[in-house]
Amino acid sequence: MITTEELKRVEGNYFEVLQTGAFTVTLRSKNTGHYWHLIEREYPTFRHFVIYHKHNASDEYHAQGTACNLTAAVSGIKSHDEFQMNGRKKAWKGKGRI
């Protein structure tokens, strides 16, 4: 279960918290506008988060990865945002490839 202390660490200037539940949290990055849906999975011996991502509100979510805890999930999201804001390298297809 996601605790209120964990949610307090997520809230702030970086994310807009759109929705929370006992085992889920939906965020929007204020830097990129990307949407993130985190689902906590608990097993008898360990806990982890499955991370889903979409670029726009009208897009469908796709699996982005997993994290061992909410802090690690947020760190991964921030790394993804940094990558996006620094410009993605465009892949060249076909002839003329460098």
Digit-coded pLDDT (tens) for 12-36: 789 999 999 999 999 999 999 999 9
Which burial class, exposed, middle or buried, applies to 45 when counting CB atoms under 10 A from its CB (0-12, 13-18, 19+)? exposed
Domains of the chain: total? 1
Confidence check: pLDDT of 76 > 70: yes
The CB-based long-range contact list for 55-59 (8 Å cut-off, 24+ gap) reads 59/35
Residue 48 confidence (pLDDT)? 94
**Domain residue limits at 77:** 4-85
90 domain-assigned:
no
pTM of the model: 0.82
In sequence order, what DSSP letters do the residues of 11-47 get, joined into one string? -SSSEEEEEE-SSEEEEEETTT--EEEEEEEE-SS-E
55 located within any domain: yes
Please state the rounded mean pLDDT for residues 43-52. 91
In this structure, is residue 25 part of a structural domain? Answer: yes
Q: How far apart are CA 91 and CA 66, in angstroms?
A: 26
User: Does residue 91 form part of some domain?
Assistant: no
